[in-house]
Amino acid sequence: MDLYLIYLKLRMHMRRLSQLPATVHLIVLNVIIFVIECITSMSVIYIRVNWFVRLFALSNYYVLVKGWIWQLLTSMFLHFGILHLFFNMFFLFILGIRLEKLIGRRRFLLLYIVAGVVGNLFTLLWGPYAPIISAGASGAIFGVFGALVILSVGYSYATTVQALMWAFLIFLINSIMPGVNILAHLGGLLTGLLYGYHARKRFIRPVVIAYHYYY
């Protein structure tokens, strides 16, 4: 009987966890992977390039020459240091929660993944012998940001000002951080802008009217 009660409690907790926003799940996943990076690198402030990073971060050479195409997906869940992780997860939480309310859980996850992959595909434009290893969620987050801007601007003065303020803040922080992958940001942003334009025309207008008062 005790085991059955434990089972019921675990099931209840799992159900509650499954009801959390996808944004929270993504943040938890990023943190878990960062802990693995810290363990394999023996560092928190700056993650050294080791076997784990080489295998899952984005290397143009490994993707274009060796065919390690999984890096187009896995690299968006790796980060090179605690500040890198903190700023990305901060923006993901602030922007992701809002966009997820507007477009729903599944569409949000799809946009996040596609924007991240497209950002990494843009990174490949540097060529196979570019001496860089890229990682981070910023390409996907720029996709989230781009969609949110399109869906927010013009509906009210408050949402327009908020969108412009976030644009300035993201630009400022990315301007002062070293090693910024401009191509990944551009690819993710374009993906988000295109999706936002499509969503605004097709299905999102009534949802925005219902939700934008809570921002």
Closest by Cα among 22, 18, 35 to 109:
22
Cβ atoms of residues 181 and 134 within 8 Å: yes
**List of domains in the chain:** 2-214 (1.20.1540.10)
What does the pLDDT look like over 23-80, one tens digit per residue? 999 999 999 999 999 999 988 888 888 999 999 999 999 999 999 999 999 999 999 9
What does the pLDDT look like over 5-15, one tens digit per residue? 665 566 565 56
pTM for this structure? 0.83
Q: Report, as residue numbers or ranges, the catalytic residues.
A: 138, 185
- 97: tokens are 């929660």
Which distant-in-sequence residues (6+ apart) come within 8 Å of 65 by Cβ?
128
Q: How far is CA 129 from the centre of its chain?
A: 26
| Averaged pLDDT score across all residues of the chain | 84
* CA pair distance 137, 187, nearest whole angstrom: 12
Higher pLDDT, 196 or 166: 196
Confidence of residue 92 (pLDDT cuts 50, 70, 90): very high
Cβ atoms of residues 53 and 47 within 8 Å: yes
SS3 category, 59 = strand
Please count the residues of the chain. Answer: 215
For residue 212, pLDDT beyond 80: no
